[in-house]
Structure 1
Amino acid sequence: MIGPQHYLQHPEQIELELSPLINAPSASDSSLSLGLSLHCHHYYPIGKWLRIQAPALTDELSIDARVVDCNRDGPGQYRLQLSFPDQEQLFRARMLEQLCQICIYQHQTPEEERDRRALEWIDAEAAHFPSDDL
């Protein structure tokens, strides 16, 4: 299986929930050149379909992705590389990763300044965030 040419690197500070998909997408767009790379504590075989969620950030966003590669990256650690079946799932993954970056950027800020910090990150970084020509 050939995977994406580039991967968004998920920050380790934000925990993702990975669940095997019972009903895998029927088709996959192999032309998407942007995927997602992350550390996890479980091995997933190549070709396995997963649902990704970040419950600490939002309950409303989930993403379906296919395992492109999963390699041991230390004791009890794996480097997981994922691809997306279509532009919609890639767009959702990109949005989730931007939420993660904003959350990290806001982390050391008092509660009353978090909205301002989020807007600062959007102004400074959103235009440069990888998009795979979305």
Structure 2
Amino acid sequence: MTGPQHYLQHPEQVELELSALFNAPATPSPAQPLGLQLHTTHYYPDGKWLRVQAPALPEELSLQARVVGCDRCPQGDYLLKLAFPDQEQLFRARMLEQICQISLQQQRAPHEDPDQQALDWIEAEAAHFPPNGL
């Protein structure tokens, strides 16, 4: 499995938990066109399978991904690049990242109704997320 052509950039303001996945997916389908990249304080070797979870979300929304790159950044952390084994995991990642974007919008305007903010974001952005048209 080679790396994706494009990556969603996970916002640094939203915490994700990464843990080793010991039961790696069976033979994955061809590489998905979209991956996920995020900053982390830990190094992960290429080929390692990880479980990605947002602590504030139910475990059912966690996803599986394989490390395709982990490069040291000038500020001392690592830029981790993840690929997904199939369309289901890619779909979960897109949903997770949309939830993260809604959360950021809600944090920027805490005085506004969070449910209405979520609906507004979905109406304006969800159909075009990610913005690069994938």
- State TM-score, norm by structure 1: 0.91
Q: Deviations over 1:59-100 (max 9, x none)?
A: 431100000000001354000000001100000000000000
**Are the structure 2 counterparts of residues 24 and 133 from structure 1 closer, same or farther at C-alpha, using a change threshold of 3 Å?**
farther
**Are the structure 2 counterparts of residues 24 and 59 from structure 1 closer, same or farther at C-alpha, using a change threshold of 3 Å?**
closer
What secondary structure, in the 3-state scheme, does the structure 1 residue paired with 2:46 have?
A: coil
1:51 is matched with: 51
Overall identity of the aligned pairs, in %: 65
1:106 is matched with: 106
Rounded Cα–Cα distance in structure 2 between residues aligned with 1:76 and 1:110: 32
Number of equivalences = 134
Q: Which runs of 5+ in 2 are unaligned?
A: none
Q: Which runs of 5+ in 1 are unaligned?
A: none
1:64 is matched with: 64
Rounded Cα–Cα distance in structure 1 between residues aligned with 2:49 and 2:65: 6
Dislocated runs of 4+, deviation >6 Å: 131-134
Q: Deviations over 1:14-39 (max 9, x none)?
A: 01000011111111123311000100
- State TM-score, norm by structure 2: 0.91
**Are the structure 2 counterparts of residues 17 and 54 from structure 1 closer, same or farther at C-alpha, using a change threshold of 3 Å?**
same
**Paired AA for residue 13 in structure 1:** Q
